[in-house]
Structure 1
Amino acid sequence: MRLQNILRNASKFRDVFDFGERQVTHWFPGHMAKGMKQMKANLKKVDCILEIHDARISFIEQNPLFQQSLAIRPHLLVLNKMDLADPSCKQRVLKQLRESGVRNVLFTDCLRQTDENVKKIVPLVAELIDSRPRYHREEEMSYCLMVIGVPNVGKSSLINALRRTNLKKGKASKVGGEPGITKAVLTKIQVCERPPMFLVDTPGVFPPAIENVETGMKLALCGTILDHLVGEDVIADYLLYSLNRLEKFSYVDRYDLGEPSDDIQHVLKRIAVKLGKTQRVKAITGVGDITITMPNYSAAAYDFIRAFRKGDLGRVTLD
């Protein structure tokens, strides 16, 4: 009965998100050009491209820099953070990727101590490399892969998971929950002895132009863009819009809302009250200044966004 009431109220939700006059160009730092140049110089030294996406946003466009390389080199697309994505969308995602020409796809959760699909990467990559000519590398006995992707999708986590799985060794790449941890193209990192396989870690880079504001918002919501460049208030509102559109209402119980809402100010106020996130501010009245306690909307938005990114609001696929 409660679910029926929730769905009945869904007609009150927004059909589209109002992006206003927002532009995405200032969201993406210019320093990535240096990383792109380094990556391009290293492409001729690799046998395979290992492309990492966040499984919640599988269809973010590929970087044009790699289009030619993907056509002549083996390519494996790894959809990471599958523990945060909606598993019911998996077959639809695979179907759409295959229709777009992407054949080799694995879903992974690199933070798990043991992930069966991580175990499949080395043998699958070796098979893909051996099935094609190795341009300029026929005499090399070892395999070399380049790991590419936008920031904060788990490239370094994947490298560490491969080392843990195949070499029984610890971390080789620094991992963090914010974009921009890997700053430069690194030296080769060994991830397997038999066959000898090395990876080249790279900084997260975006395509030179993001196709639209909504794509930029999905990237921001998944933590690939620094929050302050977009605005946590905007990200929180887009998150609320997305959860309601996808009928993912676990936020209602988490924050004791009683029922879903499409009003971000109402939701943030309830979150602030629930978590005790308040602030004291001065107000001018006719009888003088008084101090009143107000909800801390910024702190509430911060908690709301991070709850989504950790999976505390359920498993969600945004595409």
Structure 2
Amino acid sequence: MAKGLKQMNASIKNVDCVIEVHDARIPSSGRNPIFQRTLNARPHLLVLNKMDLADLSNKQRILKKMEEDGVRNVLFTDCLKQVDSNVKKLVPMVQEIIKDNPRFNREENRDISLMVIGVPNVGKSSLINSLRRTNLKKGRASQVGGEPGVTRSVLTKIQVCARPLMYLLDTPGVLPPRIESLETGMKLALCGTIRDHLVGEDVIADYLLYTLNRLGMFSYVERYDLQEPSDNIQHVLKRISVKLGKTQRVKAFTGVGNIPVVIPNYTEAAYDFIRAFRRGELGQVMLD
């Protein structure tokens, strides 16, 4: 983390605008406060990605909360979509944001330089690839993945637009050194920003079940052939393992010998439950 921040700070003087990418399902939770110093140094655009997975029925409330937090430039995107009309708005928005801001040592440069920052696995590299697909009709320049930590270091400049000439720096995801609360930490883990094994698939699955029940989202009941909603994660995972065939054979030691028995694979069931949520198969959700 320290290395990534050092690289960002060294590059910020050559940047016209900072693009902060975050997960639209948690627009307020988990944004790294360490970025504030960087954001205050340059014009800032907040991109809330994965909008296809978020419940945006109360979008105006989200925008009002962002404005109260000092964020006035917000763009919702779905960067994995082959053609996202919102991604097309990014270049004009950046031009408008930076037009009245001094460029200091970049006054003579005709190109526009951007830096993408954010916590892990929110779609920073996907945004770069989507911009290239939209503006240059070219393939991806940054590796993407469903696990946090795919981008390891600040890369060289990547062209994302020809008119105007615009380049962008990809950066590694950087989590806050201290997460503000247990609730925030669980939201980040549920959205895949923290590696599953660091929290535990069973713990994340339990929080997911609690969240779905709290929000009245019961699609999991029909999906996994439950009789009714349940707050017992062991019962739910058992049903998932049976439905999906996620079982394992073990030996039970008894007084009359070893007897092979079949038991649910709770870890595999938890992983399937979490993955279904992250793919949006359990419904769109707003966690904040």
Q: TM-score range by the shorter chain?
A: over 0.9
Aligned match of 2:26? 57
Cα distance change on mapping 1:295 and 1:61 into 2, 3 Å: closer
Deviation at 1:65, TM superposition (A): 3.3
Q: Distance in 2 between matches of 1:135 and 1:67?
A: 20
Aligned match of 1:174? 143
Aligned match of 1:10? none
Aligned match of 1:13? none
Q: Distance in 2 between matches of 1:103 and 1:65?
A: 19
Please say if residues 232 and 298 of structure 1, whose CA atoms lie closer than 8 Å, have aligned partners that are also in contact: yes
SS at match of 2:12: helix
Deviation at 1:216, TM superposition (A): 1.0
Aligned match of 1:91? 60
Aligned match of 1:223? 192
Aligned partner of 2:193: which letter? T
Aligned match of 1:28? none
1:281 counterpart = 2:250: yes
Deviation at 1:61, TM superposition (A): 4.3
SS at match of 1:53: strand
Cα distance change on mapping 1:288 and 1:105 into 2, 3 Å: same
Please say if residues 85 and 317 of structure 1, whose CA atoms lie closer than 8 Å, have aligned partners that are also in contact: yes
Match of 2:165 among 171, 174, 196: 196
Q: Distance in 2 between matches of 1:49 and 1:227?
A: 29
Please say if residues 191 and 198 of structure 1, whose CA atoms lie closer than 8 Å, have aligned partners that are also in contact: yes
Aligned partner of 1:149: which letter? G
Aligned match of 1:136? 105
1:151 counterpart = 2:129: no
Percent of residue pairs identical: 74
Q: Deviations over 1:108-158 (max 9, x none)?
A: 000111111100000110111112111321111101010000010000000
1:113 counterpart = 2:87: no
Please say if residues 148 and 195 of structure 2, whose CA atoms lie closer than 8 Å, have aligned partners that are also in contact: yes
Q: Deviations over 1:189-210 (max 9, x none)?
A: 0000111100000000012221
Q: Distance in 2 between matches of 1:301 and 1:67?
A: 36
Aligned match of 1:22? none
Q: Distance in 2 between matches of 1:69 and 1:38?
A: 12
Aligned match of 1:82? 51
Aligned match of 2:275? 306
Please say if residues 40 and 65 of structure 1, whose CA atoms lie closer than 8 Å, have aligned partners that are also in contact: no
Aligned partner of 2:203: which letter? V
Q: Larger deviation: 238-247 or 86-95?
A: 86-95
Aligned match of 2:69? 100
Q: Distance in 2 between matches of 1:308 and 1:129?
A: 37
Over aligned residues, Cα RMSD in angstroms? 1.1
Aligned match of 1:238? 207
Aligned partner of 1:306: which letter? R
SS at match of 2:86: helix
Q: Distance in 2 between matches of 1:131 and 1:115?
A: 28
SS at match of 2:210: helix
Q: Deviations over 1:275-294 (max 9, x none)?
A: 11111111112222101111
Q: Distance in 1 between matches of 2:38 and 2:174?
A: 16
Matches within 5 A, 1:204-215: 204-215=173-184
SS at match of 2:253: strand
Please say if residues 8 and 171 of structure 2, whose CA atoms lie closer than 8 Å, have aligned partners that are also in contact: yes
1:271 counterpart = 2:240: yes
Q: Distance in 2 between matches of 1:280 and 1:79?
A: 44
Aligned partner of 1:288: which letter? G
Aligned match of 1:18? none
Deviation at 1:230, TM superposition (A): 0.7
Aligned pair count reads: 288
Give 4+ residue runs of structure 1 displaced > 6 Å after superposition.
Answer: none
Please say if residues 89 and 317 of structure 1, whose CA atoms lie closer than 8 Å, have aligned partners that are also in contact: no
SS at match of 1:233: helix
SS at match of 1:268: helix
Please say if residues 132 and 161 of structure 2, whose CA atoms lie closer than 8 Å, have aligned partners that are also in contact: yes
Aligned partner of 1:203: which letter? P
Aligned partner of 2:285: which letter? V
SS at match of 1:248: coil
Deviation at 1:59, TM superposition (A): 0.5
Aligned match of 2:10? 41
Aligned partner of 2:113: which letter? C
Please say if residues 147 and 199 of structure 1, whose CA atoms lie closer than 8 Å, have aligned partners that are also in contact: yes
SS at match of 1:195: coil
